[in-house]
Amino acid sequence: MLKYQEIAIEIEKYIEENALQQGDKLPVLETLMTQFAVSKSTITKSLDLLEKKGMVFQVRGSGIFVRRHKRKGYISLLSNQGFKKDLEDYHITSNIIELDVRTPTEEASHNLNIEPNADVYYVKRIRYINGQTLCVEESYYNKAIISYLNKEIVSESIFDYIREGLGLKVGFTDSYLHIDKLNDEEANYLGLNKGDPKLYVEGIFHLTNGQPFDFSKVTYNYQQSQFFIQSNGYLL
- Positions in the binding site for a second copy (CB under 8 A): 2, 5, 8-9, 22-23, 49, 52-54, 57, 59, 62, 65, 67, 69-71, 74, 77-81, 113, 169-181, 196-199, 204, 206, 208-210, 220, 222, 225-236
Distance CA 133, CA 69 (A): 26
Q: How far is the CB of 85 from a second copy (least distance, A)?
A: 10
Q: How far is the CB of 21 from a second copy (least distance, A)?
A: 10
Q: How far is the CB of 27 from a second copy (least distance, A)?
A: 17
Q: How far is the CB of 150 from a second copy (least distance, A)?
A: 26
Q: Judge residue 235's burial from the number of C-beta atoms within 10 Å of its C-beta, 0-12 exposed, 13-18 middle, 19 or more buried.
A: exposed
- Separation in Å, CA 27 to CA 23, 24, 40, 43: 13, 10, 14, 12
- List the one residue out of 93, 78, 91, 80 whose CA is nearest residue 157: 93
Residue 30 vs 174, nearer CB to a second copy? 174
Radius of gyration of the chain (CA): 20
Q: How far is the CB of 18 from a second copy (least distance, A)?
A: 18
Residue 53 vs 124, nearer CB to a second copy? 53
Q: What sign does the CA torsion over 43, 231, 127, 104 have?
A: negative
**124 pairs with which residues across the strands?**
98, 138
Orientation angle between helical segments 29-36 and 3-17, nearest 10 degrees = 110
Residue 81 vs 93, nearer CB to a second copy? 81
Residue 36 vs 99, nearer CB to a second copy? 36
Residue 28 vs 96, nearer CB to a second copy? 28
Residue 148 vs 176, nearer CB to a second copy? 176
At 123, give phi and psi (nearest 5°).
Answer: -125, 125
Q: What is the 3-class SS of 165-191, one letter each residue?
A: HCCCCEEEEEEEEEEEECCHHHHHHHC
User: CB neighbours (10 Å) of residue 110?
Assistant: 13
Q: How far is the CB of 28 from a second copy (least distance, A)?
A: 16
Q: How far is the CB of 37 from a second copy (least distance, A)?
A: 21
Residue 70 vs 124, nearer CB to a second copy? 70
